[in-house]
C-alpha cells in the first residue's frame, strides 16, 4: 500500500517522467521495510532514516549497460537475420537487389554516424550519441558483408586477396581514429593481422595449415609492433585510451603465437621463446598493476605460468623421468597454492581499492 507522503503522479506530466517515478517508487517500497526495521532497532536515527528514504525515493537508476547490451544484441540479430533471409530467398531477391540493399544500409549507418560526429581530438572524445557509435559498428560489419558478397559473386578483387583485406584495415583505422571508436579499432587490427598472415604465407588459407614458422614469426612481430604502438599512444598522449586495445590484442597475439610455436616446435631455439614469453608476460603484469587492470594481471600470470612450467619441465627432462615425477609433484602443489594466493589477492595486486578511493 502506497503511503500518503508519496507524491501522486499527475496526468499532465511527461510519460517518461511518470515511468521513472513509478520505477523509483517501486524500488523505494522494497527498501522501506528495511529502513523502518533499522530505525526501530535503534541502528538509525530519525534524521538518518529520513535522509536514506529521500535518497532512495529520488536516486536515479542507470540503464547504461542494459541499453548497450540491447543495442549490441540488436546489431547481432539484425546481421544474422539479414544473412539468413538473403540465404533462403536469394533466388527470388536477386544479387543486384541484395547488393543495393546492403550498400544503402551501410551508407545510412555511416551517414548517421558522420552527422553526429564530434570534432577530432587526440584525447578521449565524449560521445554525443550512443546509437551513432553502434550504427558506425554496424556500418563496418555491413561493409565486410558487402565486400565478401561482391568477391564471392562477382570476383571483384580476383585473386588479389591481400587487397581485399588491406582495404577494410585502412578504412577501419581511419574511422576508428576519426570517430574515436575502440570497437572499430579492434576490427582494424583484426583485418591487419589477417592481411599480414595472408601475405606471409598465401597458400596457408587453402591448405588449412596456419601454424608454420613463417606465420608464427609474422604474428610475433605484429604483436610486438602493436605493443609498441600502444605504449607510444599512451606515453605520447595520442589517443592514449587506445593503448588498452593495442596492448591487449598485441599481447595476446604475440604470446599466443609464441606459446603455440613453442608447443608445436615450429620455432627454435626453445629457450629464446620461453624467455620471450616470460619477458612479455612480466610486462603485461607490470602494466596491469600500473593501469589497475585485472585482465592484464591474469594474462601475464597465465602465459608466464605456462612458459615457466614448460621450460622447467624441459630442463628437468634432461635429468631423467624420475626427477621430473618427483619434483613435478611438489611443483604443482606449490603452483596451485600460489595460484590460489594470486586469485585471492588479485584486487590488492591491481591496486583497485586504492585507485577507487583516490589514494
pLDDT classification of 350: cutoffs 50, 70, 90: confident
Q: What is the pLDDT of residue 38?
A: 72
Question: Which residue would you say has higher pLDDT here, 12 or 141?
Answer: 141
Q: What is the pLDDT of residue 207?
A: 58
Q: What is the pLDDT of residue 128?
A: 63
Q: 60 pLDDT exceeds 50?
A: yes
Compute the distance between CA of residue 61 and CA of residue 20 in angstroms, rounded to an integer.
9
Compute the distance between CA of residue 171 and CA of residue 165 in angstroms, rounded to an integer.
10
pLDDT classification of 276: cutoffs 50, 70, 90: very high
Q: What is the pLDDT of residue 15?
A: 42
What mean pLDDT comes out for the span 135-143? 90
Q: What is the pLDDT of residue 202?
A: 64
Q: 187 pLDDT exceeds 50?
A: yes
Q: 284 pLDDT exceeds 90?
A: yes
Q: What is the pLDDT of residue 28?
A: 46
pLDDT classification of 49: cutoffs 50, 70, 90: confident
DSSP 3-state assignment of 213?
helix
The average confidence (pLDDT) of the chain is 81
Rg over CA atoms, the chain: 28
- What is the per-residue pLDDT across 63-117, written as a single tens digit (0 to 9) for each? 777 777 887 788 778 777 777 777 777 777 778 888 898 899 999 999 999 998 8
**Site of grid cell 533466388:** 91
- What is the per-residue pLDDT across 251-268, written as a single tens digit (0 to 9) for each? 999 999 999 999 888 888
Compute the distance between CA of residue 325 and CA of residue 262 in angstroms, rounded to an integer.
22
User: Is cis: bond before 269, omega within 30 of 0?
Assistant: yes
DSSP 3-state assignment of 189?
helix
Query: pTM to 2 decimals?
Result: 0.76
- What is the per-residue pLDDT across 143-178, written as a single tens digit (0 to 9) for each? 998 898 888 888 888 888 888 899 999 999 999 999
Q: What is the dihedral of CA 118, 119, 124, 127, to 10 degrees?
A: -10
Amino acid at each position: 500500500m502506497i503511503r500518503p507522503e508519496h507524491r501522486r503522479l499527475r496526468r499532465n506530466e511527461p510519460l517518461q517522467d511518470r515511468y521513472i517515478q513509478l520505477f523509483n517508487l517501486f524500488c523505494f517500497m522494497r527498501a522501506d521495510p528495511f529502513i523502518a526495521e533499522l530505525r526501530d532497532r535503534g541502528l538509525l536515527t530519525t534524521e538518518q532514516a529520513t535522509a536514506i528514504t529521500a535518497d532512495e525515493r529520488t536516486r536515479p537508476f542507470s540503464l547504461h549497460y542494459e541499453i548497450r547490451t540491447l543495442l549490441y544484441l540488436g546489431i547481432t540479430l539484425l546481421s544474422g537475420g539479414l544473412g539468413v533471409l538473403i540465404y533462403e530467398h536469394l533466388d527470388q531477391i536477386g544479387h543486384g537487389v541484395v547488393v543495393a540493399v546492403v550498400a544503402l544500409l551501410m551508407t545510412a549507418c555511416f551517414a548517421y554516424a558522420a552527422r553526429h560526429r564530434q570534432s577530432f581530438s587526440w584525447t578521449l572524445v565524449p560521445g554525443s550519441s550512443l546509437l551513432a557509435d553502434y550504427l558506425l559498428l554496424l556500418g563496418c560489419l555491413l561493409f565486410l558483408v558487402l565486400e565478401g558478397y561482391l568477391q564471392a559473386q562477382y570476383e571483384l578483387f580476383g585473386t588479389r586477396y591481400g587487397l581485399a583485406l588491406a582495404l577494410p584495415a585502412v578504412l577501419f583505422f581511419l574511422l576508428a581514429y576519426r570517430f574515436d571508436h575502440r570497437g572499430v579499432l579492434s576490427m582494424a587490427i583484426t583485418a591487419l593481422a589477417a592481411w599480414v598472415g595472408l601475405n606471409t604465407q598465401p597458400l596457408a588459407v587453402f591448405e588449412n595449415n596456419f601454424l608454420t614458422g613463417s606465420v608464427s614469426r609474422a604474428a610475433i612481430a605484429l604483436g610486438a609492433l602493436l605493443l609498441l604502438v600502444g605504449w607510444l599512444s599512451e606515453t605520447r598522449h595520442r589517443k592514449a585510451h587506445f593503448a588498452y586495445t593495442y596492448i591487449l590484442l598485441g599481447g595476446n597475439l604475440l604470446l599466443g603465437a609464441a606459446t603455440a610455436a613453442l608447443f608445436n616446435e615450429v620455432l627454435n631455439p626453445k629457450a629464446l621463446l620461453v624467455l620471450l614469453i616470460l619477458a612479455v608476460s612480466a610486462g603485461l603484469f607490470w602494466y596491469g598493476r600500473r593501469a589497475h587492470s585485472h585482465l592484464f594481471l591474469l594474462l601475464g600470470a597465465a602465459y608466464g605460468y605456462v612458459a615457466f612450467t614448460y621450460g622447467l619441465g624441459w630442463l628437468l627432462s634432461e635429468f631423467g623421468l624420475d626427477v621430473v615425477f618427483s619434483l613435478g609433484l611438489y611443483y604443482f602443489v606449490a603452483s596451485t597454492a600460489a595460484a590460489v594466493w594470486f586469485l585471492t589477492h588479485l584486487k590488492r595486486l591491481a591496486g583497485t581499492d586504492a585507485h577507487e578511493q583516490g589514494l
